[in-house]
Homo-oligomer: A and B are copies of this chain.
């Protein structure tokens, strides 16, 4: 395998924006756009924890970027670029890095972002990756988790739980004849560039799991939440499993959809802002200790084996 510097020059330097200085320096130089605030986030992906050893390298790369893009989406920030760290075991084939870089290139094009810099290392046994993203937003316009108010409606984009089923399909635990669920698990579609400032009171992306992520808003905003299980949007292929995987769909995460707190009078504006992106109301924030209660169709609370989700 070529040495570290040759690999950087071959595979990563072509991805660098001018901020990256050809990846020849100790750091990147960024000229912040006047009148904008910067939004900074970092996420890691570890082999065996966040991806499976045989996942396609290009999809690992794209998911790494998209998980971070989803964090920017939750703040209503516009992405600009990222720093990358890679730690690869010595026996990692050159083709792995080549395909990984192809995935980066594809999503850089898709999302109009550039590589700003990074760090590469060898690792002992497993691949570990991080991306630090830099986005920007008009001053004071970033969405936060702490802005929800009593009476705000809880909306979600897209469908929830597909990735949880997709992961099980990738492990051979269930059938996914069309490949749709697998695709949702391998390659999420972050909801970036929705003009939600002034419309949503609070936002978060569904990474830890729908209930956990709603609980994050509850804690930050000092509210309780009640949601209706039957109103949680479910893709038909996922709905076909009925309640068999209900807990997994609501607690596994990895959907990278947005949860939004919306004042009732902002619902029309919300639908206009989301355009073709589907949004559905699933519940409401209300006064109370930080708790997420899930009601079944009869109005009775559903208890999950992870009790924490209801009383945390």
Contact = CB atoms under 8 A, between A and B. Distances in A.
A54 interface: no
A75 B26 CA distance: 7
A38 B144 CA distance: 24
A124 B205 contact: no
Given A40-B117, A46-B128, A25 B75 contact: yes
Interface string A84-120: 1101000000000000000000000000000011110
Interface string A47-64: 011100000000000000
Given A125-B126, A128-B87, A128-B128, A28 B41 contact: yes
A204 interface: yes
A30 B30 CA distance: 13
Given A32-B32, A123-B49, A124-B46, A27 B219 contact: no
Interface stretch (A130-138, A180-188, A281-289, A294-302): A130-138
A116 B26 contact: no
Contact of A28 (B31, B40, B44, B124): B40
A31 B25 CA distance: 25
Contact of A31 (B37, B44, B123): B37
A7 B48 CA distance: 22
Given A26-B71, A87-B128, A132-B132, A43 B119 contact: yes
Contacts of A216: 24
Interface of A: 19, 21, 24-32, 34, 37-44, 46, 48-50, 71-72, 74-75, 77, 83-85, 87, 116-119, 121-126, 128, 130, 132-135, 137, 139, 142, 144-146, 204-205, 216, 219-220
Given A27-B39, A29-B137, A34-B34, 17 more contacts: A19-B40, A24-B216, A26-B41, A26-B204, A27-B71, A27-B72, A29-B39, A29-B40, A29-B75, A31-B37, A38-B38, A43-B85, A44-B87, A46-B121, A50-B121, A123-B126, A132-B132
